[in-house]
Structure 1
Amino acid sequence: MPNSRSAPHPLTDGLKIDFRAAAVAAVTNTITFRVSALGRWAYNMSGFNQYGLHRDDCLYEDDDVKEAIRRLPEKLKDERNYRITRALHLSLTKTILPKEQWTKYEEDTKYLEPYLEEVKRERDEMAKWEANK
C-alpha cells in the first residue's frame, strides 16, 4: 500500500502552492510595512520636518546639486528658498513649527531628483566623450 503522504493528490497539490504564495505575500507585506514604518520613524527623528523642510532641502550642495538647483523652475526654487529661510529663522529663535505644519513623510517629494539625475547623466556622458577623444 503506497504512503498517502508521498502520493500527490490533485486537489491538495495546488493548495500547497497557494499556501506558500500566501505565506510569501504575507511576509512581503510585513517586511514592506516594517520598512515603511522604520522609514517613517527615521524621517520623524531626523527633525528637519519640524522646520518644514523637505529631504532635498537638506542635501549637501556639491557641484551636481548646485547645478540641479540652478535648473529648477523658478516656482520650485522660490519654494525651496522660502523653506530654508523659514528653517533658519526658526533655528535662530530656537522654535519649531506647530505639528500640523510639519512636513509629513507621505507628502515629502524628491523634487530635485529628476534634475539631479539629468546632471549626473550629462556629467557621465561628458566623461565618456572625453575618454574617447
Structure 2
Amino acid sequence: MSAPSLINFILKRPWLKRALTPVAAWWGNAAGYRQLGLRNDDLIPEESEIVQQALKRLPEKESYDRIFRIRRALQLSLQHQLLPKAEQTKPEEDYHYLSPIIRQIEVEIKERNDLDSLKVNKRK
C-alpha cells in the first residue's frame, strides 16, 4: 500500500501551502533524480504486486519512456555524470503518472476485499 500523505492537510491550509512550497521545490531539486532525467514516480520500487499491476496498465509510450529514463539514469550513474541542463527533468515535467494508477488499484483491492468478506443474512 502507499505511504500515508499529509498533502490533503497541507492543501486545506493556504498559509501552510505557501510556507512549504519553496521547501518542496528545493527538496525536489536537491534530491538529484531530476539531474539524471528521472521523474518522481520512476523512483517507486517495483517489487510490490500493486506496482506491478500499475506498470501493466501504463500506456505503451509511457512505459517505454519510463524504461528509457531508468536505463539512461543507470548509465549516467555508472559513468558518474549528470545530464546537460537542457536535458534534465524540469519541475513542470515532473508529474505523477504512476501514483494515480497505484491509488486506483488500491481502491479496487479494498473494494474487492470488502465484497469478499460481505456476509449475507437470510430472511426468516
Structure 2: which 5+ runs fail to align? 1-12, 120-124
Query: Normalising by structure 2, what TM-score?
Result: 0.78
Q: List gaps (5 residues or longer) in structure 1.
A: 1-27
Counterpart position of 2:84: 98
Q: Percent identity?
A: 37
**Structure number with higher helix proportion:** 1
Q: Does the residue aligned with 1:75 lie in a helix, a strand or coil?
A: helix
Deviates more, 1:78-87 or 1:120-129: 120-129
Matched, 1:124 2:119: no
Letter in 1 for 2:103: E
- Does structure 1 residue 86 correspond to structure 2 residue 72? yes
Aligned length: 106
Q: CA deviation at 1:105?
A: 1.8
CA distance 1:79–1:131, change in 2 (3 Å)? same
**Deviation at residue 30 of structure 1 after TM alignment:** 5.9
Equivalent position amino acid for 2:28 in 1? Y
> Which residue type is aligned with residue 37 of structure 2?
G
Q: CA RMSD in A?
A: 1.7
Residue 36 of structure 1 aligns with which residue?
A: 21
1:102 & 1:122 partners in 2: Cα distance? Answer: 35
Give the TM-score of the pair, scaled to structure 1: 0.73
